């Protein structure tokens, strides 16, 4: 297996650090628009090669694939670049993986009731082309989406006979401080992606169809395990809701994120001021995207690890009937402590938790344990080998009855 890793930011660099401890691949080409960042991540392993790439150009992706005889393209950049990387991989004859699907577009007349272009629609539209070529696109294989979707498959196969709701619930007790020890606002993940998913109309799967609701709707307090405790969670647009019902039979699918009042207020202000916009505006003769500016002035998520403390939890709350037909409510989860990831890998816990899952998936693909063609989500594969390998990596998952 010869992997092109597109993106050497927080998640990409963590991916490189995790993969360097495994032997399932021949080489990884670590590519980024910033060659210095690519070289820094590539220094983790003699099997790595650094390269510069323009993720917005399918031709740049395909050329790099051909130059290095790439078999698998791993997309670790913001999803605004998905379609160019996706297309470049196909043209070069490589399989493709990402951690977030192609972007959505709200319904032009009823954005908080009806779906427009849904997450992943552009990719699923060409699924037959990939299938006919005998090639695989594995979409949404981060932690959320990704591990949460693996949990959905596991719950359907091993825990439940009938599923009422697949409810992804994400929460944390993470705190970032400045040099004086004062708590500061510093997102632990890409601010560009966070704005996208939090301000778009959230999608809910209900009784056989998708519909939308208002951002931050249906607040609930969820009690997260391993000392994190109660966190208020709200509806957010996310891939799980668009993926899980395609392969797992359920009456309802939701995604709720524990953002907190401060974060929600900041997002609302950004939207009010138009600073969430992606189209460029002219400022003193220079064209800039307001959202790019917001992301640029905040601390880089890849650098906040030394000033972060606490744990993050990704998981799936499943309700329905167990294999004997009795009511069941189970939370399948994965908790990661920032102190541990910083000590063991030198990367903060949120990007590390996202990055470990595509490494596990690639190892399963390399072994032939997972195989398929077309555009598939993690739910399309057997969950047990994935969860076993995740535990082997030293990061076990958990389960509790609610």
Structural domain harbouring 321: 147-349
Q: Name 218's Cβ contacts closer than 8 Å, sequence gap at least 6.
A: 234, 235, 254, 256
- Beta strands 160-172; 136-138: pairing state: unpaired
Structure tokens at 261: 């009042």
In-domain check, residue 367: no
Structure tokens at 193: 């992606």
Q: How many domains does the chain have?
A: 1
Q: Does residue 261 register a pLDDT over 90?
A: no
Nearest to 216 by CA among 264, 168, 165, 163: 264
In-domain check, residue 76: no
In-domain check, residue 199: yes
Structure tokens at 21: 């401890």
User: What is the rounded average pLDDT of the residues 218-227?
Assistant: 95
Residue with tokens 């969820």: 222
Bridge partners for 336 per DSSP: 312
SS3 of residue 201 by DSSP: coil
d(CA 94, CA 66): 9
In-domain check, residue 281: yes
In-domain check, residue 269: yes
In-domain check, residue 253: yes
SS3 of residue 385 by DSSP: helix
Residue 189: pLDDT band (50, 70, 90) is low
Query: Do residues 97 and 116 make contact, with C-beta atoms less than 8 angstroms apart?
Result: no
Stated pTM of the model: 0.93
For the chain, state the CA radius of gyration.
20
User: What is the rounded average pLDDT of the residues 323-330?
Assistant: 98
d(CA 400, CA 386): 19
Sequence-distant contacts of 214-223: CB under 8 A, at least 24 apart:
214/112, 215/267, 216/259, 216/264, 218/254, 218/256, 220/256, 222/169, 222/171, 222/256, 222/258, 222/317
**Per-residue pLDDT tens for 78-128?**
999 999 999 999 999 999 999 999 999 999 999 999 999 999 999 999 999
**Inter-CA distances, 125 with 102, 118, 197, 377, Å:** 11, 11, 21, 14
| Range from 161-170, 282-291, 367-376 carrying the lowest mean pLDDT | 282-291
- The share of the chain scoring above pLDDT 90, in percent, equals 81
Buried b / exposed e across 96-129, counting CB within 10 Å, b at 16+?
bbbbbbbbbebbeeebeeebbebbbbbbbebbee
d(CA 131, CA 95): 11
User: What is the rounded average pLDDT of the residues 308-317?
Assistant: 96
In-domain check, residue 97: no
If one compares 375 and 298, the residue with the highest pLDDT of the two is 375
SS3 content of the chain, % helix, strand, coil (to 5): 35, 30, 35
In-domain check, residue 142: no
Query: Do residues 192 and 295 make contact, with C-beta atoms less than 8 angstroms apart?
Result: yes
**Per-residue pLDDT tens for 32-59?**
999 999 999 999 899 999 999 999 999 9
């Amino acid at each position: 297996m010869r992997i092109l890793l597109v993106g050497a930011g927080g998640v990409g660099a963590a991916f490189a650090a995790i993969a360097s401890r495994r032997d399932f691949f021949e080489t990884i080409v670590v590519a980024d628009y910033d060659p210095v960042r690519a070289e820094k991540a590539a220094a983790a392993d003699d099997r790595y090669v650094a390269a510069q790439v323009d993720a917005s150009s399918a031709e740049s992706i395909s050329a790099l694939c051909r130059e290095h005889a790439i078999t698998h393209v791993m997309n670790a950049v913001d999803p605004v670049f998905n379609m160019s990387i996706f297309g470049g991989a196909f043209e070069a004859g490589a399989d493709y993986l990402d951690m977030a699907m192609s972007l959505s577009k709200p319904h032009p007349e009823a954005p908080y009731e009806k779906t427009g272009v849904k997450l992943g629609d552009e990719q699923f539209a060409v699924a037959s082309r990939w299938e006919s070529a005998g090639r695989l696109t594995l979409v949404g294989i981060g932690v959320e989406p990704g591990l949460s979707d693996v949990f959905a498959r596991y719950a359907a196969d091993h825990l439940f006979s009938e599923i009422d709701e697949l409810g992804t619930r994400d929460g944390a007790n993470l705190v970032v401080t400045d040099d004086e020890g004062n708590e500061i606002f510093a997102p632990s993940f890409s601010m560009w992606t966070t704005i996208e998913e939090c301000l778009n109309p959230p999608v809910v799967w209900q009784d056989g169809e998708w519909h939308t609701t208002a951002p931050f709707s249906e607040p609930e307090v969820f009690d997260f395990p391993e000392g994190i405790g109660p966190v208020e969670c709200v509806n957010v647009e996310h891939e799980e809701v668009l993926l899980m019902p395609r392969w797992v039979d359920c009456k309802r699918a939701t995604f709720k994120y524990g953002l907190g009042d401060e974060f929600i207020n900041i997002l609302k202000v950004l939207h009010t001021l138009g600073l969430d916009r992606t189209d460029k505006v002219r400022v003193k003769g220079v064209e800039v995207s307001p959202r790019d500016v917001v992301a640029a002035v905040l601390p880089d998520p890849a650098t906040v690890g030394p000033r972060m403390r606490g744990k993050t939890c990704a998981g799936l709350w499943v309700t329905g009937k167990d294999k004997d037909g009795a009511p069941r409510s189970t939370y399948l989860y994965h908790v990661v402590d920032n102190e541990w990831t910083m000590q063991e890998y030198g990367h903060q816990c949120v990007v590390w938790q996202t990055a470990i899952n595509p490494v596990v998936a690639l190892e399963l693909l390399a072994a032939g344990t997972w195989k398929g063609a077309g555009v598939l989500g993690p739910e399309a594969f057997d969950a047990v080998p994935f969860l076993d390998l995740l535990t082997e990596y030293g990061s076990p998952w958990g389960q509790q009855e609610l």
